[in-house]
Amino acid sequence: MKSIYRIAVFLGLLLASCGSEPSLQKYFVENTENKNFIALDVSPSILNVDKTKITVEQGEALKSFDKMNILAFKINDKNKAQFETERAKVGTILKDVKYQQLMKFSSGKEGASVSYVGSDEHISEFVLYANKKDVGFAVVRILGKDMNPMNIMTMISVLKSSNIDMEQLKPLQELLKK
């Protein structure tokens, strides 16, 4: 009888530890197949960087970058109410203490924020969120290992000299058409 009790307690603890609090990862998974969203996973290969022409710092920044997940909601006349609901969900998720906000920009109809997960020198995820009431919103998760703010600044310099594979970004072109 004690073993049944122990198993029940173990299963209870296991289920409780799974938690049901919202996260961006869960949000991405839940909405990947939703017709109002465009979901895209981008690998570092999109940059097409000639590794012989980058600095050591740029190489380190590239090594810290694993992938990028993009989820975008395109607004139309039929989904304006859902847009507000989904935008509120993302806002609630990003208010979690796990997501530390670096900066935020806002004006009446549009806004953007940059947040991260981890400590200052060991960041596992950068989150870029932008919304515009007449277009929609996009959430970009930049995932990596031991990233830091300097890695992101260095990545920007790498982007300037890269030959980006636009084929990987083709689904996003649909969102930008308006």
Mean pLDDT of the chain, nearest integer: 81
Its pTM surpasses 0.75: yes
Q: What is the pLDDT of residues 13-50, one digit of tens each?
A: 444 444 556 799 999 999 999 999 999 888 877 777 87
Three-state secondary structure call for residue 7: helix
Can you give the pLDDT at residue 22? 76
CB 27 within 8 A of CB 96: no
pLDDT digits (tens, 9 = 90+) for 123-164: 999 999 999 988 999 999 989 988 888 887 787 777 777 777
The pLDDT score that the predictor gives to residue 6 is 44
Q: How far apart are CA 18 and CA 62, in angstroms?
A: 32
CB burial of residue 20 (10 Å; 0-12, 13-18, 19+): exposed
- Sorting pLDDT into bands at 50, 70 and 90, what band is 171? low
Which residues on adjacent β-strands are paired with residue 106?
A: 111
